[in-house]
Amino acid sequence: MTSSTARGPAAELDEWIASREGEGAPFDARALYEADLRDAFPTDAVRSLDDFGLARYYVPQQYGGELTSIPQVLSLWRVIARRDLTVAVAHGKTLLGAICVWIAGRPEQAQALGRAVLDGMVVSWGLTERGRGSDLMRSTVTLRSTDRGWRLNGEKWLINNATRGDAICVLARSNPRMGPRSLSLAFVEKSRLDAESFAHLPKEPTLGIRGADISGIAFHDAQLERDALVGHEGQGLETVLRALQVTRTVCVGLSLGALDHALATAYEFACNRQIHGRALIDLDMAAQTVAHAHLARAVVGTVAEVACRCLHVFPEQMSVISAITKAFVPTTVDETLAGLAELVGLRSFVADHEVCEPLEKIERDHRIVAIFDGSTVVTRNAVVSQFPILSREYDRARDDQARCVEAGGTSEVHPLALDGLELLSAHGCSLVQALPRMAAQLVEAAEHNASLQPSAWLAERIVTCTQAVIARARAIPPAAQQVEDAAFEVARDYELCFAAAACLSRWAHPHAHGDRSSHNTQRLTSCLDWILARLSHDHDVSAEARRWALDQLHGVQGV
C-alpha cells in the first residue's frame, strides 16, 4: 500500500490482516462484501481484531493499556478501513465509548474500565436521540438522583453497538432546566441492570456500513449505583465536547483507509483495462482522475497526521483543529471517491463487477464518516463560532514556532494529556497563524536552493489567499443563532489554509529534508498546488503536480 504511516503496531496489524484474507478467513473480501449485502455483522473480522489485541490501543497506559499516541490509532484504523469500513466502525466504537471515562472519570473507575476493555468489553456511546439530531443540549433521557444512586429513563437512538455493547456511556439530563450545566454522563453496564429496566431498539437499515449494529437502547427506571456517574453532575456536555475533540480527529483514519482502498482498486483497474488497444490510464481523463485522487490523499493524509499530533502538541487548540479535520477530510474523500467510482463505473467502457462492487461499497460506506460524531455542518459551525478569535489571533500573528515544528515533525510526540483539552481555543490556531512565517522562511531558503522556488511561490500565494479568508471571517457578523451560508464557505476555505499550514510544517522544515529532501520538496509543491487550486479561482492543478502524483502511483504500486 502507499503513503502508509504504518510503523510499529499499524504495520503489525497490517500483516495480521493480510495473512487472514484468504477464502473463508475472517478478512475474506468477498465474504465481507456478501455479508454486507445481507446486512450481517462482520463477526469473524471483529473477533480477529480482538485476538490481535487491538483494544489495548484504546486504553491509556496509566490504566493498563498502550494508548500513548493518537497518530498510532489513526494508522491502526486506516489499516482496517482499507479492508472494510464496517469492521473499523464496529471495533473502534469502544474507544469512543470509553473516552469520557479517560477524560473525566475517577481513577479507580478508569482503572476498572481499562481492565474490562482489555478483557474484551464492548462499549458504546449514547449521545443522540430520535428527532433531536446533533442537538445534544436537548437530550431528554433523564438521570435522577435517588436514595441509592441514580435512575435512568428514556431512549438513545442511532447508536453504534447499542445492542452488541456490554456497556454504554450515556449523556442524560440531570437537571430539568435547559442549559449547558444540565447534562451528566452515566456509565451503564448492562450486566448490572435489572433485565426489565432496559430494552434494545431494532437495528436500523442503513445505506452504508450495512452490517454495523446501528440501533438504540431504551431505559425504564434503570437503577444505577452512585458511582456510575462519569465526572461531576452537570459536567456532561463539557466532557463530551472535549471527548469529541479526540474522536473527531482520529476517526478520519476511516476516511484515509477508504481512500487507500478505492485508489488502489481504481488505479489497478485503469492500468489493466484496455480501450482500443491502449490502457485506460493512458487516457488523459483517467490519468487526471487518479492523479487528483493521489494529490487529495497526500493532502488529507498530512492534515490527519498533523492534526493527530496536535492532540499531543496543541491540546488547548483542538476545539478548532478537530472541527477543521472532521469537516475537511471526510468531505474531500467523499468527493474523491465519487470521481474514482465514476472512472471505474463508466458503463460505456466497462461492466466489471469485480471492480465496481468494492468501489460502490466504499463510496456508500464512507458517507457515514461525514455524518457521525459531528456532521460537516456541525463542525463548520464550531469553527465559525470561533471566527472572532481566529481572525483576531491571525492579525496578532500569534505564532508558536517550536510547537508548530513539533506538530509537523515525525519524531515521537509529547505524552498525551487529555486534561489539556479546552472548550475554546483562546489563542486561535497557531499553525494557520504561522503561515506567513513559514512561507517567508521557504522564500528565504529558495534564494539559495532553486528547487524550492516553486513551493515558495505557491506558499506566498496561499498566504495572500489566507489573508483574504481571514478578512472574510472578520467581516462575518457574530450571529449566535443563524449562521449564514457565506460563513460556511469561509470555514471551508479556512480548512484549506490549515491544510497548507499542515503541509508546510510537515514537508518544508529541515527535519523533513534528510536523504529524501527532493522527494519531500516535490511532495510539498504538489500538495500546495492542489490546495491553491481550491483556494483560488485563477489557479489549476499544474501538469507537474499531476505528473508527480502519477509517478508516485506507478512507482509505489508498480506496473
Q: Can you state the angle between helices 485-507 and 401-408, rounded to 10 degrees?
A: 80
In the complex, the smallest distance separating the C-beta of residue 142 from other proteins, rounded to whole angstroms, is: 18
In the complex, the smallest distance separating the C-beta of residue 319 from other proteins, rounded to whole angstroms, is: 8
d(CA 286, CA 266): 10
DSSP classification of residue 452 = G
Smaller CB separation from other proteins, 378 or 531: 378
Torsion of CA 420, 425, 426, 431, to 10 degrees: 100
Smaller CB separation from other proteins, 100 or 299: 100
Which three cell numbers mark 138?
Answer: 436537548
Residue 316 has a CB neighbour count (10 Å cut-off) of 15
Residue 336 identity: T
- Contact, 296 vs 334, CB < 8 A? no
Enumerate residues 6+ apart whose C-beta is below 8 A from 281: 267, 270, 271, 287, 290
Nearest 5°: the CA angle 240, 257, 37 is 95
In the complex, the smallest distance separating the C-beta of residue 163 from other proteins, rounded to whole angstroms, is: 31
In the complex, the smallest distance separating the C-beta of residue 137 from other proteins, rounded to whole angstroms, is: 6
Cα–Cα nearest to 129, from 205, 217, 188, 204: 217
Smaller CB separation from other proteins, 477 or 558: 477
DSSP string, 18-41: HTT-STTSTT-HHHHHHHHHTT--
3-state secondary structure of 340: helix
What number of CA atoms fall less than 13 Å from residue 255's CA on the CB side?
35
In the complex, the smallest distance separating the C-beta of residue 417 from other proteins, rounded to whole angstroms, is: 17
Smaller CB separation from other proteins, 237 or 446: 237
d(CA 500, CA 264): 25
In the complex, the smallest distance separating the C-beta of residue 85 from other proteins, rounded to whole angstroms, is: 29
In the complex, the smallest distance separating the C-beta of residue 264 from other proteins, rounded to whole angstroms, is: 39
DSSP string, 154-177: EEEEEEETTTT-SEEEEEEESSSS
Smaller CB separation from other proteins, 302 or 433: 433
Smaller CB separation from other proteins, 17 or 378: 378
In the complex, the smallest distance separating the C-beta of residue 406 from other proteins, rounded to whole angstroms, is: 23
In the complex, the smallest distance separating the C-beta of residue 237 from other proteins, rounded to whole angstroms, is: 7
Smaller CB separation from other proteins, 269 or 314: 314
In the complex, the smallest distance separating the C-beta of residue 481 from other proteins, rounded to whole angstroms, is: 5
DSSP classification of residue 60 = B
Smaller CB separation from other proteins, 205 or 477: 477
> Rounded to a whole number, what is the distance in angstroms from the first to the last CA of the chain?
14
The region that residue 248 occupies, defined by phi over 0 for left and psi between -120 and 50 for alpha, beta otherwise, is alpha
d(CA 479, CA 487): 10
In the complex, the smallest distance separating the C-beta of residue 182 from other proteins, rounded to whole angstroms, is: 9
State the residues that interact with other proteins by CB under 8 A: 137, 177-181, 237-238, 241, 382, 385-386, 388-389, 392, 422-424, 426, 477-481
* Sequence-ordered alpha helix ranges (H) in 314-419: 318-345, 353-366, 376-384, 387-395, 401-408
In the complex, the smallest distance separating the C-beta of residue 480 from other proteins, rounded to whole angstroms, is: 4
Smaller CB separation from other proteins, 96 or 383: 383
Smaller CB separation from other proteins, 128 or 255: 128
Smaller CB separation from other proteins, 385 or 526: 385
Smaller CB separation from other proteins, 96 or 241: 241
Per 3-state DSSP, the chain is made up of helix, strand and coil in percentages (nearest 5) of 60, 10, 30
d(CA 522, CA 503): 12
Cα–Cα nearest to 512, from 327, 305, 345: 305
